[in-house]
Amino acid sequence: MKKRGQHWSFDSRDLMRAKCSHCVRVSTARELGVSGLKELIDQFYVRPDNLAIRYGMRFEEALEHELIENLGEKIKMPLDRTMDATLELMNEGVPVIYQGVLQGGSGAMAFSGRPDFLLRSDYRFEFTEGGLSAHQVDGWSGGYTAWDAKLSSSPKPEYQTQVGLYADVLKELGYAAEQNHGLILGSRELAAFAAEPLIAQMVQERNSYLKKVFSFIDEDPQRVEDIGELICDASSYCDICEYPELCEHERRQNNHLQLVAGITRPQIESLHRSGVKTLAQLAPREEPTDKLSNEQVQKLARQARLQQHTYDTGEHIVEVINPAELNKLPAENPGDIFFDLEGFTFFGEPGGLEYLFGYTSIADGEKFHADWADTREEEREVFERFMHELMNRLQQYPDAKVYHYANYEQAALKKLAERYGCYQHEVNELIDKGVFVDLYKLVKASIMISQESYSIKKLENYYSFDRASDVKEAMGSMEHYDQYLSALETDKAAAENLKRQVIAYNQDDCASTLALTRWLRSLVNRDV
């Protein structure tokens, strides 16, 4: 959102974050020049940057290069990144315009945005052997359609709303074509939509957003305190926000309910209505709220008490809440393996790439096994080799289990079996028979810990597991793999070093899964 003099404008990111009142109020207050706000938020400013953003930009650039290669002089970029320069190209009748600017629209506040592509009405996009191109279908009757590139396999509603913003501006400017607008998807498919439904869908979202903005402006906030809570209602928008660290700071400063592991937004809202604003206030709570039963409140309060204890003392504590669930953990078998998959969402083909199969085996002295893949062909080989070795292991040790943490491994194996048309029956049968043991489900059903999440990294506080790898989080492993892919073309030694780091991270995860399993068994006879 921007304010220039008395003129306000918003962009598509503002609308994407519109459901978060924190984002709306902070961005509006920033432009209003509320006293003390700039000094506060500047401490926490972070330029939005992550793999999704970077790969989305690469996808858009790749499409631009393909169109330039295929269309030559039929595609142009405005010399200046302004709407006047964009309109000049439309008036010239350029078939495809990229990196243009559109401003205006039918709303009470002007929209300002940059459609990836503007397509003349007598042209249609198509995918050819040479990539994205466009061909002429009939005579030009005037007007353009707007298209955005999205690295996704589906045309999500928020993407359609964004295209609706561009279609609305084109309509108001008198440059709208009758043909469909649309999305160019990462699956290299085109999703086209009629203008009127797109605009109608967008208007509903936009008007709701602008109502919040103007209502806040009418409040005439003067101080930071007038903005309200400086914490996001949810974390859904943090990847596109400039101030996620502000939220984190405020959560801790205010002992906010969002710190409670597993708590939901509706639960927080219900507790707020009952006067419970902090984790410390929740800890002794026993009474129900308007939406939460006694049992639900007591469970949340118990989690809050555990966490508050750790905040106050630094001591990590665990409570067994369901011994019967712990008793379901099978006895250790020499054939057991402790399995962890690493996947790369942004592989150049739909569905991502499962690039690292790692597991630790008890039978051979807790040896770590790692199998690496950089291509679809190698992915298939690695998957088939893993399944072949697993089936042989189960013949030797019929009661062996495959332990993992959370559902990713099971979902990925199902996906790979379907992708390659092999081991489908075996994967489903092994899952149905309980050969795969998801320790996350067991943990959630059996114990409570004094941590803000139930990730395996948080659980390591209880079985004193020390990681050897420099990579600390799953997203970090994806960052390292991305760097590895880049280094492959320029620095083989650097690529090999990055590969070793990711494998070391995976080895830590497998060893930690084994340590977690043994620790959970040690709790079986522990009192509640």
Could you count the other beta carbons within 10 Å of the beta carbon of residue 127? Answer: 14
**pLDDT value for 272:** 96
From residue 517, alpha-carbon distances to 402, 428, 481 in Å are 11, 23, 28
Instruction: Give the tokens for residue 350.
Output: 């739909």
- State the amino acid at position 201 in one-letter form: Q
What average pLDDT does range 199-225 have in this prediction? 96
The pTM score is 0.91
pLDDT by residue (tens digit) across 75-92?
999 999 999 999 999 999
C-alpha span between 118 and 42 (Å, rounded): 36
Q: Residues 78, 143: one domain?
A: yes
Q: Residues 70, 158: one domain?
A: yes
Lowest mean pLDDT among 236-240, 261-265, 442-446: 236-240
What average pLDDT does range 421-430 have in this prediction? 98
Radius of gyration of the chain (CA): 27
C-alpha span between 100 and 80 (Å, rounded): 9
Within-domain flag for 223: no
Q: Where are the alpha helices (DSSP H) in 369-438?
A: 376-396, 408-420, 424-432
Q: Residues 77, 201: one domain?
A: yes
Count how many residues are written for the chain. Answer: 528
pLDDT by residue (tens digit) across 40-71?
999 999 888 889 899 999 999 999 999 999 99
**pLDDT value for 108:** 96
**pLDDT value for 48:** 86
Token look-up 């984790």 returns 279
Beta carbons within 8 Å of 329's beta carbon, 6+ residues apart: 437, 442, 517, 520, 521, 524
C-alpha span between 146 and 162 (Å, rounded): 10
CB 183 within 8 A of CB 190: yes
142, pLDDT greater than 70: yes
Lowest mean pLDDT among 294-308, 439-453, 478-492: 478-492
Within-domain flag for 42: no
What average pLDDT does range 502-509 have in this prediction? 94
**Nearest C-alpha neighbor of 262 from the set 454, 406, 407:** 454
Instruction: Give the tokens for residue 329.
Output: 């953990």
C-alpha span between 184 and 197 (Å, rounded): 18
- Cα 314 versus chain centre, distance: 31
Q: Residues 507, 443: one domain?
A: yes
Within-domain flag for 236: no
Q: Average pLDDT of the chain?
A: 94
Q: Residues 488, 350: one domain?
A: yes
Could you count the other beta carbons within 10 Å of the beta carbon of residue 319? Answer: 16
Q: Where are the alpha helices (DSSP H) in 174-293?
A: 195-219, 244-253, 265-273, 279-282
- State the amino acid at position 513 in one-letter form: T
Q: Residues 98, 171: one domain?
A: yes
Q: Residues 207, 263: one domain?
A: no
Q: Residues 148, 289: one domain?
A: no
Q: Residues 137, 192: one domain?
A: yes
**Nearest C-alpha neighbor of 364 from the set 393, 406, 328, 331:** 393
Lowest mean pLDDT among 115-124, 340-349, 419-428: 340-349
Token look-up 């945005």 returns 113
Instruction: Give the tokens for residue 225.
Output: 């305190």
Q: What is the CATH number of the domain that holds 455?
A: 3.30.420.10
Within-domain flag for 39: no
**pLDDT value for 20:** 87
Within-domain flag for 442: yes
**pLDDT value for 177:** 95
Within-domain flag for 263: yes
Within-domain flag for 31: no
161, pLDDT greater than 70: yes
Q: Would you call 302 exposed, middle or buried from its count of C-beta atoms within 10 A (0-12, 13-18, 19+)? A: middle
pLDDT by residue (tens digit) across 437-483?
999 999 999 999 999 999 999 999 999 788 877 665 655 788 999 99
Could you count the other beta carbons within 10 Å of the beta carbon of residue 70? Answer: 18
**pLDDT value for 528:** 45
Final residue in a domain of this structure, among 214, 231, 265: 214
Number of H-type helices and E-type strands within the chain: 19, 19
The domain total for the chain is 3
C-alpha span between 357 and 518 (Å, rounded): 22
195, pLDDT greater than 90: yes
Within-domain flag for 249: no
Q: Which residue has the higher pLDDT, 526 or 444?
A: 444
C-alpha span between 317 and 42 (Å, rounded): 37
CB 510 within 8 A of CB 339: yes
- State the amino acid at position 92 in one-letter form: E
Q: Residues 367, 469: one domain?
A: yes
Q: Residues 381, 509: one domain?
A: yes
Assign 489 a pLDDT band (cuts: 50, 70, 90): confident
pLDDT by residue (tens digit) across 322-356?
999 999 999 999 999 999 999 999 998 888 999 99
Q: What is the CATH number of the domain that holds 272?
A: 1.10.150
Find the domain containing 362 and state its range.
337-522
Q: Residues 182, 99: one domain?
A: yes
